[in-house]
Structure 1
Amino acid sequence: MTVTTTTLTRAAGVAAVVGGLLYIGVQINHPHLDLDFIGTTEWKVRQTMKMLFAALSLAGITGMYLRKVTRAGVLGLIGYLTLGLGFVLMVSIEAAGGFVLPAIAQTSPAYVSDVLAVAVPGGHAVGDIGLLGTLIQLDGVLYLAGGLLFGIALFRARILARWAAALLALGALATLAIPLLPQVNFRLFAIPTGIAMVGLGCSLWRDQRTPAARSLHGAASSPLDPTIAK
Protein backbone atom coordinates (compact mmCIF):
# COMPACT_ATOMS: atom_id res chain seq x y z
CA MET A 1 0.00 0.00 0.00
CA THR A 2 1.30 3.42 -0.95
CA VAL A 3 1.29 5.93 1.90
CA THR A 4 0.16 9.32 0.63
CA THR A 5 -0.70 12.64 2.21
CA THR A 6 -4.37 11.86 1.64
CA THR A 7 -4.03 8.51 3.41
CA LEU A 8 -2.30 10.07 6.41
CA THR A 9 -4.82 12.87 6.64
CA ARG A 10 -7.74 10.46 6.53
CA ALA A 11 -6.05 8.33 9.17
CA ALA A 12 -5.79 11.43 11.36
CA GLY A 13 -9.50 12.01 10.84
CA VAL A 14 -10.32 8.45 11.90
CA ALA A 15 -8.04 8.83 14.94
CA ALA A 16 -9.92 11.97 15.99
CA VAL A 17 -13.29 10.23 15.62
CA VAL A 18 -12.23 7.18 17.64
CA GLY A 19 -10.60 9.38 20.27
CA GLY A 20 -13.72 11.48 20.62
CA LEU A 21 -15.94 8.41 20.96
CA LEU A 22 -13.64 6.97 23.63
CA TYR A 23 -13.75 10.25 25.56
CA ILE A 24 -17.54 10.25 25.51
CA GLY A 25 -17.70 6.57 26.43
CA VAL A 26 -15.41 6.88 29.43
CA GLN A 27 -17.72 9.48 30.99
CA ILE A 28 -20.77 7.18 30.98
CA ASN A 29 -21.60 5.81 34.43
CA HIS A 30 -18.14 6.70 35.71
CA PRO A 31 -17.95 5.58 39.38
CA HIS A 32 -16.85 7.87 42.18
CA LEU A 33 -13.09 8.13 42.56
CA ASP A 34 -11.97 6.39 45.75
CA LEU A 35 -9.47 3.82 46.97
CA ASP A 36 -11.82 0.91 46.40
CA PHE A 37 -12.47 1.81 42.76
CA ILE A 38 -8.86 2.21 41.65
CA GLY A 39 -8.14 -1.39 42.58
CA THR A 40 -10.65 -2.71 40.05
CA THR A 41 -10.22 -3.82 36.46
CA GLU A 42 -12.77 -1.22 35.39
CA TRP A 43 -10.45 1.52 36.65
CA LYS A 44 -7.58 0.27 34.48
CA VAL A 45 -9.88 -0.05 31.46
CA ARG A 46 -11.17 3.50 31.85
CA GLN A 47 -7.67 4.87 32.35
CA THR A 48 -6.52 3.06 29.23
CA MET A 49 -9.44 4.59 27.32
CA LYS A 50 -8.36 8.04 28.49
CA MET A 51 -4.79 7.37 27.38
CA LEU A 52 -6.01 6.26 23.95
CA PHE A 53 -8.22 9.34 23.72
CA ALA A 54 -5.27 11.64 24.33
CA ALA A 55 -2.93 9.78 21.94
CA LEU A 56 -5.48 9.49 19.14
CA SER A 57 -6.60 13.10 19.59
CA LEU A 58 -2.99 14.24 19.32
CA ALA A 59 -2.74 12.45 15.97
CA GLY A 60 -6.08 13.94 14.97
CA ILE A 61 -5.26 17.58 15.71
CA THR A 62 -1.89 17.13 13.98
CA GLY A 63 -3.71 16.17 10.81
CA MET A 64 -6.11 19.07 11.24
CA TYR A 65 -3.29 21.56 11.66
CA LEU A 66 -1.24 20.24 8.75
CA ARG A 67 -4.34 20.25 6.53
CA LYS A 68 -3.86 23.98 5.99
CA VAL A 69 -0.96 25.38 7.96
CA THR A 70 -0.97 28.78 6.30
CA ARG A 71 -4.65 29.42 6.92
CA ALA A 72 -4.39 28.40 10.56
CA GLY A 73 -1.87 31.19 11.15
CA VAL A 74 0.04 31.97 14.32
CA LEU A 75 -3.05 31.41 16.46
CA GLY A 76 -3.41 27.94 15.01
CA LEU A 77 0.22 27.12 15.72
CA ILE A 78 -0.01 28.31 19.32
CA GLY A 79 -3.29 26.48 19.83
CA TYR A 80 -1.95 23.29 18.29
CA LEU A 81 1.25 23.28 20.36
CA THR A 82 -0.63 24.09 23.57
CA LEU A 83 -3.33 21.47 23.09
CA GLY A 84 -0.79 18.93 21.80
CA LEU A 85 1.37 19.35 24.91
CA GLY A 86 -1.77 18.97 27.00
CA PHE A 87 -2.51 15.63 25.34
CA VAL A 88 1.08 14.45 25.88
CA LEU A 89 0.86 15.27 29.59
CA MET A 90 -2.56 13.64 29.76
CA VAL A 91 -1.16 10.33 28.50
CA SER A 92 1.54 10.41 31.20
CA ILE A 93 -0.85 11.39 33.99
CA GLU A 94 -3.49 8.82 33.06
CA ALA A 95 -0.81 6.12 32.79
CA ALA A 96 0.40 6.97 36.29
CA GLY A 97 -3.17 6.94 37.56
CA GLY A 98 -4.00 3.66 35.91
CA PHE A 99 -0.93 1.62 36.77
CA VAL A 100 1.05 3.35 39.54
CA LEU A 101 -1.64 4.49 41.97
CA PRO A 102 -3.21 1.01 42.35
CA ALA A 103 0.22 -0.39 43.18
CA ILE A 104 0.77 2.04 46.07
CA ALA A 105 -2.83 2.34 47.29
CA GLN A 106 -2.28 -0.05 50.19
CA THR A 107 1.03 1.42 51.36
CA SER A 108 0.26 5.12 50.74
CA PRO A 109 -3.53 5.53 50.94
CA ALA A 110 -3.38 9.18 52.03
CA TYR A 111 -1.22 10.14 49.05
CA VAL A 112 -3.45 8.28 46.60
CA SER A 113 -6.58 9.87 48.09
CA ASP A 114 -5.03 13.32 47.66
CA VAL A 115 -4.19 12.59 44.01
CA LEU A 116 -7.76 11.47 43.37
CA ALA A 117 -9.06 14.61 45.04
CA VAL A 118 -6.95 16.86 42.82
CA ALA A 119 -8.03 14.90 39.74
CA VAL A 120 -11.56 16.22 40.26
CA PRO A 121 -11.99 19.82 39.03
CA GLY A 122 -12.03 22.13 42.02
CA GLY A 123 -10.68 19.43 44.33
CA HIS A 124 -7.87 20.06 46.81
CA ALA A 125 -5.27 17.81 48.39
CA VAL A 126 -4.78 17.67 52.15
CA GLY A 127 -1.11 16.80 51.91
CA ASP A 128 1.69 17.39 49.44
CA ILE A 129 1.54 15.23 46.30
CA GLY A 130 4.66 16.75 44.78
CA LEU A 131 5.28 17.07 41.05
CA LEU A 132 2.19 15.09 40.09
CA GLY A 133 -0.05 17.82 41.49
CA THR A 134 1.77 20.45 39.44
CA LEU A 135 1.47 18.34 36.28
CA ILE A 136 -2.26 17.82 36.80
CA GLN A 137 -2.81 21.56 37.19
CA LEU A 138 -0.60 22.37 34.20
CA ASP A 139 -2.42 19.84 32.06
CA GLY A 140 -5.74 21.44 32.99
CA VAL A 141 -4.49 24.86 31.88
CA LEU A 142 -3.04 23.52 28.62
CA TYR A 143 -6.19 21.56 27.84
CA LEU A 144 -8.41 24.59 28.41
CA ALA A 145 -6.24 27.17 26.66
CA GLY A 146 -5.27 24.84 23.82
CA GLY A 147 -8.83 23.74 23.11
CA LEU A 148 -10.03 27.34 23.11
CA LEU A 149 -7.26 28.71 20.88
CA PHE A 150 -7.18 25.78 18.46
CA GLY A 151 -10.97 25.78 18.15
CA ILE A 152 -11.00 29.51 17.37
CA ALA A 153 -8.20 29.08 14.83
CA LEU A 154 -10.05 26.28 13.03
CA PHE A 155 -13.26 28.29 13.08
CA ARG A 156 -11.57 31.32 11.55
CA ALA A 157 -9.68 29.29 8.96
CA ARG A 158 -12.89 27.72 7.60
CA ILE A 159 -10.96 24.52 6.96
CA LEU A 160 -13.24 22.01 8.66
CA ALA A 161 -16.78 21.93 10.06
CA ARG A 162 -17.18 25.28 11.79
CA TRP A 163 -19.80 24.02 14.24
CA ALA A 164 -17.33 21.41 15.51
CA ALA A 165 -14.53 23.96 15.78
CA ALA A 166 -16.81 26.29 17.74
CA LEU A 167 -17.89 23.42 20.00
CA LEU A 168 -14.25 22.56 20.72
CA ALA A 169 -13.59 26.13 21.84
CA LEU A 170 -16.82 26.40 23.83
CA GLY A 171 -16.30 22.98 25.41
CA ALA A 172 -12.88 24.01 26.68
CA LEU A 173 -14.21 27.33 27.95
CA ALA A 174 -17.15 25.65 29.69
CA THR A 175 -14.82 23.75 32.01
CA LEU A 176 -14.26 27.02 33.86
CA ALA A 177 -17.83 26.76 35.12
CA ILE A 178 -17.32 23.37 36.81
CA PRO A 179 -16.28 24.77 40.24
CA LEU A 180 -19.24 27.17 40.09
CA LEU A 181 -21.74 24.36 39.48
CA PRO A 182 -20.97 21.70 42.10
CA GLN A 183 -24.46 20.23 41.79
CA VAL A 184 -23.83 19.30 38.14
CA ASN A 185 -21.90 16.13 37.24
CA PHE A 186 -18.60 17.55 35.98
CA ARG A 187 -18.19 14.67 33.52
CA LEU A 188 -21.00 16.10 31.42
CA PHE A 189 -18.67 18.99 30.54
CA ALA A 190 -16.35 16.58 28.72
CA ILE A 191 -19.02 15.43 26.27
CA PRO A 192 -18.94 18.57 24.04
CA THR A 193 -15.20 18.10 23.53
CA GLY A 194 -15.75 14.47 22.54
CA ILE A 195 -18.50 15.45 20.09
CA ALA A 196 -16.28 18.20 18.67
CA MET A 197 -13.44 15.74 18.05
CA VAL A 198 -15.83 13.36 16.30
CA GLY A 199 -17.21 16.17 14.14
CA LEU A 200 -13.77 17.53 13.24
CA GLY A 201 -12.47 14.04 12.48
CA CYS A 202 -15.39 13.27 10.16
CA SER A 203 -14.94 16.62 8.45
CA LEU A 204 -11.22 15.99 7.98
CA TRP A 205 -11.86 12.54 6.51
CA ARG A 206 -14.51 13.78 4.09
CA ASP A 207 -12.37 16.74 3.09
CA GLN A 208 -9.83 14.48 1.43
CA ARG A 209 -10.39 13.38 -2.14
CA THR A 210 -8.34 10.84 -4.02
CA PRO A 211 -5.66 12.22 -6.34
CA ALA A 212 -7.53 10.64 -9.24
CA ALA A 213 -10.71 12.52 -8.39
CA ARG A 214 -8.77 15.77 -8.15
CA SER A 215 -7.10 15.09 -11.50
CA LEU A 216 -10.43 14.39 -13.17
CA HIS A 217 -11.88 17.55 -11.70
CA GLY A 218 -8.92 19.56 -12.89
CA ALA A 219 -9.12 18.08 -16.37
CA ALA A 220 -12.81 18.79 -16.63
CA SER A 221 -12.42 22.40 -15.56
CA SER A 222 -9.29 23.24 -17.60
CA PRO A 223 -9.61 24.82 -21.06
CA LEU A 224 -8.95 22.69 -24.15
CA ASP A 225 -5.55 22.80 -25.78
CA PRO A 226 -5.94 25.07 -28.83
CA THR A 227 -3.99 22.64 -31.00
CA ILE A 228 -6.28 19.79 -30.02
CA ALA A 229 -9.36 21.92 -30.57
CA LYS A 230 -8.33 22.47 -34.16
Structure 2
Amino acid sequence: MRIFVAGGRGQVGVPLADLLRSQGHEVVVGSRADGVDVLTGAGLGAALAGVEVVVDVLNTTETEAGAATAFFRGTTERLLAAEQSAGVRHHVLLSIVGADRALANGYYAGKVAGEDAVRGGDVPFSIVRATQFVEFVPTLADWLTVDGAVLAARTLLQPVPLADVVDLLARTATGRPSGTTTDLAGPQAVPLDELLRRALADDPREVRTVQGQSLGAESTDALVPLGEHLTGSRRG
Protein backbone atom coordinates (compact mmCIF):
# COMPACT_ATOMS: atom_id res chain seq x y z
CA MET A 1 0.00 0.00 0.00
CA ARG A 2 1.26 3.48 -0.89
CA ILE A 3 0.70 5.84 2.08
CA PHE A 4 1.37 9.57 2.29
CA VAL A 5 2.26 10.90 5.75
CA ALA A 6 1.63 14.64 5.99
CA GLY A 7 4.03 15.93 8.61
CA GLY A 8 6.24 12.91 8.11
CA ARG A 9 9.35 14.57 9.57
CA GLY A 10 7.71 15.44 12.89
CA GLN A 11 7.44 13.82 16.32
CA VAL A 12 4.63 11.51 15.22
CA GLY A 13 5.41 11.27 11.53
CA VAL A 14 8.93 9.84 11.81
CA PRO A 15 8.04 6.77 13.92
CA LEU A 16 4.81 6.29 11.97
CA ALA A 17 6.64 6.25 8.64
CA ASP A 18 9.22 3.83 10.06
CA LEU A 19 6.52 1.48 11.36
CA LEU A 20 4.59 1.48 8.10
CA ARG A 21 7.76 0.75 6.12
CA SER A 22 8.59 -2.12 8.49
CA GLN A 23 5.15 -3.56 7.65
CA GLY A 24 5.98 -3.53 3.95
CA HIS A 25 4.16 -0.38 2.88
CA GLU A 26 5.53 2.30 0.57
CA VAL A 27 5.64 5.59 2.46
CA VAL A 28 5.71 9.02 0.86
CA VAL A 29 6.86 11.62 3.38
CA GLY A 30 5.11 14.96 3.11
CA SER A 31 7.29 17.77 4.40
CA ARG A 32 9.01 20.86 3.07
CA ALA A 33 12.32 19.03 3.35
CA ASP A 34 10.93 16.51 0.87
CA GLY A 35 9.65 19.15 -1.54
CA VAL A 36 6.03 19.06 -0.38
CA ASP A 37 4.47 22.13 1.23
CA VAL A 38 0.89 21.44 2.31
CA LEU A 39 0.46 25.08 3.33
CA THR A 40 0.93 26.30 -0.25
CA GLY A 41 0.20 23.08 -2.12
CA ALA A 42 3.64 23.07 -3.75
CA GLY A 43 4.60 19.53 -4.77
CA LEU A 44 1.45 18.04 -3.28
CA GLY A 45 -0.20 16.80 -6.45
CA ALA A 46 2.87 14.92 -7.63
CA ALA A 47 3.46 13.44 -4.16
CA LEU A 48 -0.06 11.98 -4.07
CA ALA A 49 0.27 10.12 -7.36
CA GLY A 50 -0.69 6.50 -6.72
CA VAL A 51 -1.33 7.12 -3.02
CA GLU A 52 -4.18 5.13 -1.48
CA VAL A 53 -4.15 6.57 2.06
CA VAL A 54 -3.18 9.93 3.55
CA VAL A 55 -2.35 10.22 7.25
CA ASP A 56 -2.38 13.80 8.50
CA VAL A 57 -0.15 14.36 11.54
CA LEU A 58 0.74 17.95 10.67
CA ASN A 59 1.47 20.23 13.59
CA THR A 60 2.00 23.92 14.27
CA THR A 61 3.43 26.05 17.06
CA GLU A 62 0.51 28.46 16.72
CA THR A 63 -1.53 28.76 19.93
CA GLU A 64 -3.76 31.72 19.06
CA ALA A 65 -7.18 30.49 17.92
CA GLY A 66 -7.30 32.38 14.63
CA ALA A 67 -3.83 31.33 13.51
CA ALA A 68 -4.21 27.71 14.65
CA THR A 69 -7.61 27.42 12.97
CA ALA A 70 -6.27 28.90 9.73
CA PHE A 71 -3.42 26.38 9.77
CA PHE A 72 -5.37 23.22 10.55
CA ARG A 73 -8.43 24.05 8.44
CA GLY A 74 -6.33 25.36 5.56
CA THR A 75 -3.96 22.42 5.36
CA THR A 76 -6.79 19.92 5.75
CA GLU A 77 -8.87 21.46 2.98
CA ARG A 78 -5.85 21.63 0.69
CA LEU A 79 -5.02 17.98 1.37
CA LEU A 80 -8.60 16.85 0.77
CA ALA A 81 -8.84 18.71 -2.53
CA ALA A 82 -5.59 17.17 -3.75
CA GLU A 83 -6.71 13.74 -2.54
CA GLN A 84 -9.91 13.96 -4.56
CA SER A 85 -7.94 14.76 -7.68
CA ALA A 86 -5.52 11.90 -7.03
CA GLY A 87 -8.18 9.32 -6.17
CA VAL A 88 -7.07 8.79 -2.55
CA ARG A 89 -9.46 6.39 -0.81
CA HIS A 90 -8.85 7.09 2.89
CA HIS A 91 -7.93 10.18 4.93
CA VAL A 92 -6.72 9.59 8.51
CA LEU A 93 -6.50 12.55 10.87
CA LEU A 94 -4.78 12.71 14.26
CA SER A 95 -6.59 14.93 16.75
CA ILE A 96 -6.94 15.34 20.53
CA VAL A 97 -9.38 13.80 23.00
CA GLY A 98 -11.66 16.49 24.39
CA ALA A 99 -10.48 19.23 22.04
CA ASP A 100 -14.10 20.25 21.49
CA ARG A 101 -14.49 20.63 25.27
CA ALA A 102 -11.50 22.97 25.55
CA LEU A 103 -12.17 25.61 22.89
CA ALA A 104 -10.70 28.34 25.08
CA ASN A 105 -7.38 26.76 24.08
CA GLY A 106 -6.59 28.22 20.67
CA TYR A 107 -4.55 25.21 19.54
CA TYR A 108 -7.39 22.83 20.41
CA ALA A 109 -9.87 25.08 18.60
CA GLY A 110 -7.68 24.69 15.53
CA LYS A 111 -7.70 20.91 15.82
CA VAL A 112 -11.50 20.94 15.97
CA ALA A 113 -11.58 23.06 12.81
CA GLY A 114 -9.45 20.42 11.11
CA GLU A 115 -11.84 17.68 12.22
CA ASP A 116 -14.81 19.64 10.90
CA ALA A 117 -13.11 20.01 7.53
CA VAL A 118 -12.53 16.25 7.32
CA ARG A 119 -16.14 15.45 8.22
CA GLY A 120 -17.38 17.97 5.69
CA GLY A 121 -15.16 16.68 2.89
CA ASP A 122 -15.79 14.04 0.25
CA VAL A 123 -12.88 11.69 1.02
CA PRO A 124 -13.70 8.65 3.21
CA PHE A 125 -12.08 9.24 6.60
CA SER A 126 -11.12 8.01 10.03
CA ILE A 127 -10.28 10.33 12.94
CA VAL A 128 -7.98 9.19 15.75
CA ARG A 129 -8.15 11.30 18.88
CA ALA A 130 -5.40 10.73 21.44
CA THR A 131 -4.92 12.17 24.90
CA GLN A 132 -1.74 14.14 25.63
CA PHE A 133 1.43 12.17 24.94
CA VAL A 134 3.47 11.04 27.94
CA GLU A 135 6.46 12.58 26.17
CA PHE A 136 4.66 15.93 26.01
CA VAL A 137 4.16 16.35 29.79
CA PRO A 138 7.41 18.35 30.33
CA THR A 139 6.30 20.78 27.61
CA LEU A 140 2.99 21.26 29.43
CA ALA A 141 4.99 22.27 32.48
CA ASP A 142 6.84 24.86 30.42
CA TRP A 143 3.56 26.23 29.08
CA LEU A 144 2.22 26.64 32.61
CA THR A 145 5.34 28.20 34.13
CA VAL A 146 4.87 31.75 35.42
CA ASP A 147 7.69 33.56 37.26
CA GLY A 148 9.50 30.30 37.90
CA ALA A 149 6.52 28.36 39.26
CA VAL A 150 4.26 25.89 37.46
CA LEU A 151 0.61 26.87 37.92
CA ALA A 152 -1.62 23.84 37.39
CA ALA A 153 -5.22 23.05 38.22
CA ARG A 154 -6.77 19.70 39.10
CA THR A 155 -7.80 19.14 35.48
CA LEU A 156 -7.61 15.43 34.71
CA LEU A 157 -5.21 14.13 32.07
CA GLN A 158 -4.77 10.54 30.92
CA PRO A 159 -1.42 10.57 29.10
CA VAL A 160 -0.67 7.91 26.50
CA PRO A 161 2.77 6.88 25.21
CA LEU A 162 3.50 8.11 21.69
CA ALA A 163 4.28 4.56 20.57
CA ASP A 164 0.67 3.52 21.28
CA VAL A 165 -0.61 6.43 19.20
CA VAL A 166 1.66 5.46 16.32
CA ASP A 167 0.47 1.84 16.50
CA LEU A 168 -3.18 2.90 16.30
CA LEU A 169 -2.53 5.29 13.42
CA ALA A 170 -0.83 2.51 11.47
CA ARG A 171 -3.71 0.08 12.11
CA THR A 172 -6.22 2.73 11.11
CA ALA A 173 -4.36 3.69 7.95
CA THR A 174 -4.16 0.10 6.75
CA GLY A 175 -7.81 -0.63 7.55
CA ARG A 176 -11.08 0.53 6.06
CA PRO A 177 -12.32 4.09 6.61
CA SER A 178 -14.57 4.17 9.67
CA GLY A 179 -16.27 7.50 9.09
CA THR A 180 -16.08 7.97 12.85
CA THR A 181 -13.77 9.04 15.67
CA THR A 182 -11.73 6.64 17.81
CA ASP A 183 -10.44 7.85 21.18
CA LEU A 184 -7.18 6.55 22.65
CA ALA A 185 -6.00 7.21 26.20
CA GLY A 186 -3.44 5.99 28.68
CA PRO A 187 -4.32 3.61 31.51
CA GLN A 188 -4.93 6.16 34.27
CA ALA A 189 -6.45 9.61 34.71
CA VAL A 190 -4.39 11.87 36.98
CA PRO A 191 -4.92 15.48 38.10
CA LEU A 192 -2.58 17.74 36.16
CA ASP A 193 -0.95 19.27 39.23
CA GLU A 194 -0.15 15.83 40.60
CA LEU A 195 1.09 14.61 37.23
CA LEU A 196 3.46 17.56 36.95
CA ARG A 197 4.80 17.10 40.47
CA ARG A 198 5.79 13.57 39.52
CA ALA A 199 7.31 14.64 36.20
CA LEU A 200 9.27 17.51 37.79
CA ALA A 201 10.56 15.59 40.81
CA ASP A 202 14.14 16.59 39.90
CA ASP A 203 13.20 20.07 38.66
CA PRO A 204 13.65 23.13 40.90
CA ARG A 205 10.31 24.62 39.84
CA GLU A 206 7.48 24.46 42.36
CA VAL A 207 4.13 23.16 41.13
CA ARG A 208 1.34 25.24 42.62
CA THR A 209 -2.26 24.07 42.54
CA VAL A 210 -4.61 26.75 41.24
CA GLN A 211 -8.38 26.98 41.12
CA GLY A 212 -10.38 26.44 37.95
CA GLN A 213 -9.12 24.46 34.97
CA SER A 214 -5.94 24.36 32.91
CA LEU A 215 -5.33 24.12 29.15
CA GLY A 216 -8.67 25.72 28.27
CA ALA A 217 -10.68 22.78 29.62
CA GLU A 218 -14.35 23.47 30.33
CA SER A 219 -14.47 21.02 33.24
CA THR A 220 -12.23 18.76 35.30
CA ASP A 221 -12.88 15.77 33.02
CA ALA A 222 -12.95 17.63 29.69
CA LEU A 223 -9.62 16.24 28.45
CA VAL A 224 -10.17 12.56 29.26
CA PRO A 225 -12.45 10.14 27.39
CA LEU A 226 -16.06 10.35 28.55
CA GLY A 227 -17.27 7.23 26.78
CA GLU A 228 -16.05 4.20 24.88
CA HIS A 229 -12.33 4.41 24.08
CA LEU A 230 -9.19 2.37 23.52
CA THR A 231 -6.52 2.13 26.20
CA GLY A 232 -2.85 2.06 25.30
CA SER A 233 -0.94 -1.13 26.03
CA ARG A 234 2.22 0.59 27.29
CA ARG A 235 2.90 2.51 30.47
CA GLY A 236 4.72 5.81 30.25
**Do they fold alike, i.e. is TM over 0.5?**
no
Determine which structure has more spread, i.e. the larger CA radius of gyration: 1
Greater RCO structure (CA 8 Å; 6+ sep) = 1
TM-score class normalised by the smaller sequence: under 0.3
TM-score (norm: length of structure 2): 0.22
Higher helix share goes to which structure?
A: 1
